[in-house]
Structure 1
Amino acid sequence: MMESLLIANRGEIARRIIRTAKMLGIRTIAVYSEADAGLPFVREADEAIAIGPAPARESYLSEARILQAARKTGAAAIHPGYGFLSENAEFAEAVEKAGIIWVGAPPAAIRAMGLKDAAKELMQAAGVPVTPGYLGPDQSEERLTAEAEATGYPVLIKAVAGGGGKGMRRVDRAQDFAEHLAACRREAAASFGDDRVLIERYISNPRHIEVQVFADKHGNCVHLFERDCSLQRRHQKVIEEAPAPGLDAATRAAICHAAVKAARAVNYVGAGTIEFIADASAGLHPDRIWFMEMNTRLQVEHPVTETITGEDLVLWQLKVAAGEPLPKMQNEIVRNGWAFEARLYAENPAAGYLPSTGRLEHLKLPQRVRVDSGVEQGDEITAFYDPMIAKIIAHGPNREAALSKLAAACAGIEVWPVRSNAGLLARIAVEPDFRAARIDTGFLDRHGESLAAKEPDETVIDRAATALSMGADDDPWSALRGFRIAGPNDNRMRVRIDGHLYWGRARPDLEPNAVEMDETTVLFDAGNAWPIGLPAASEVEANHGPGDGAILSPMPGLVISVDVAEGDRVAKGDRLLTVEAMKMEHTLRAPFDGTVGKLQASTGIRVSENQLVVTVVKEED
């Protein structure tokens, strides 16, 4: 086993690798940028070395600086984590040329699987099923048009060097093919410097199923079963699970056998993932699952595989890199139960998934499930790197039990003032179609609007009223609730939630989870964080009931345009004004049909969070 290990990555994967390396007695070396100097992985490593400023290209993607750090610290091996340099064949070769152990895939295998068309041709030759379509060298419009016709519409045009959804177009009709081909080529050339494309049959109900494979330098190659990664948004995974629901034993055996064949075809060594696309329109069957691509690295979602097999995949990586045989052979690897992984991101689903940055003044993560996190309370989420806060991994004896555990874990997450998708994750976990495993890659496109929770429900409003009324003076002249000389008091009260005014009821049966931070009270409910407060005098100008049209700025920023004037009639959804904050534009819109009342903002002024900027009066009022 190597004596020392440099981790050429950051955040949660760096912490993950450090834990296993320390367990093996390996000296750990972290590299970090200026922006990450205070993060936990830097403190937890045995040694840490700064490698440059915040931008990744000047630090974590700088091959020269990482190799210099390895030489300076006497690192015996380099682990690239995932992303960044993990699939860079030239960097892998440079590491090996420097006499340092590369904890990753062989450079030749990385290259073989780097281009989609070449990889599919290689898989075809190895007997691995690939999606019907065209992979040939003739890139003329005439040939591609003919091949699309032969494949049968709808088809997908995909960039040969593509990834992340770039350079990809769905075409439903022959008459639209030329237009989409031109657009796909332009995007591919701009993104990858390569405008070559391939044609694939479009799968109407696609499931994304991938198989974890592992091989050593002694000719052994195994699989550790499959994962389902169908729950995606814009081709980025949100929740993964293992095993894949609805996969029978025969189909599982077929797909796992194909994955091992794929790995052997490129003389693979180390951890890898073979990704398949399945047509789930009539259930999962071996003849309707096809090879898509191979990721020649450890995957972000590897914890679900670790959880159902009880294996430490980072330990396997280190042993294989050190020349040892695989810790277990195929007949020794067993499955146990079900596991889910939810990716907790610093983003606001209710605001179109806008990224959120800032200091994590308050962070409470689940205690009874596995949590892989790169940050702790008080750390900073910056705009330089992936916005992941943590991975929440839940395990149970079956899918229902594991999913219930995941739902409870996500519902208990508390993040502030950075916004997060915790509430979205909690709602997905209880959504009936997801619980019934009626999923494909379009799930969030169909359900995303209803899952975004843009407005607080009645219970949240009442919890806010209850929290704000606790400890309030019962004197009738200053009470927050309505006082009556005759009859019972009116327990309704006006509350401000996330910049909007509502009528709520203080209820003794509710136990609101509210936290005081500086001058803000935050109500945490089912993963959501709602800033709450009492309306200022300037906000109580009209009594219009819930969602009364008092429009507040959602965050501090600069008003860059005002699109209405006092007295203008507006329809629900009409743009009122736009605030620029955190290099993003936030458009404030009319909540209902009505008339613009008092306008308290103009172009060029700066506004604070929750500042009243305009009032809209309902038509019926």
Structure 2
Amino acid sequence: RWDGAFDNQGKITPHYDSMIAKLIVSAPNRDAALDQLVSALDDLLIGPLVTNAGLYRWLAEEPEIRTATMTTRYLDENIPPDAPSSESINSEAVAILQHQSSSADPGAWHQLPNFRVLPNEHRLVGVYEDQNGELQELVTHNKDLEKPATFNHKPDLLCINQNGHTISLQPVDRTQVWISDAASTRGALADVLAPFPAVVVEIPVGAGDLVQSGDAVLVIEAMKMLHTLTAPGTGTIESVWVSNGESVEAKQILVTFEQTEADKKEHS
């Protein structure tokens, strides 16, 4: 049973616990219920959000959870496994794209008699941004890659389930990637971005202020907790793009920094 309050047009705010749904299973006994939970989490696709579904998938198979012998210190004493690696996700994504490409119309060249198109061993099929804002280059291989059991591919979003984690990949215009790469070489400190949806509650700096690495530049509130965002290095504030009380989205630019004179000369 899935009790959800959001659809694909909904907006998750930072003003309270960001619960988007409850997944409920039932069975005659604890082990059977946990087995059903594992199966349901393996079939779940929910993106491009970052959720705790993968954490619950891991917990559902832990022996202490199965025998109900855990304590409230369980997560302090047991470290969850890392999220799926980029390499494993990219391999599954390429398998999906290659399969769909091979089943599509081969095109006019393949219709010509006695004409054969040689496969390219490594071909860039696209640049994608994952739910953490990282860019991933997907490259085809002349290998028979196995598709994941649970995935959903739309023109603007590819979601893959791996061990309960939904990995979301959104296609990115390669031109924008090149522009971003060029901008990153201008020599200024990296922009301060919102790590997740939140509300700005304090702005201790302003344009023209000199800050040191680790100095507080913003305080935001999310899920009833305050989070301090700090300067990534020593530099001068160019602009603060938000105001107190403003709601911000994940990856929104909050603070930018000026170039130093040395950087201007180096990158001119």
* TM-score normalised by the chain length of structure 2: 0.50
Larger-gyration structure (1/2): 1
* TM-score normalised by the chain length of structure 1: 0.26
Asked which structure has the greater RCO (Cα within 8 Å, sep 6+), the reply is 2
Q: Greater helix percent: which structure?
A: 1
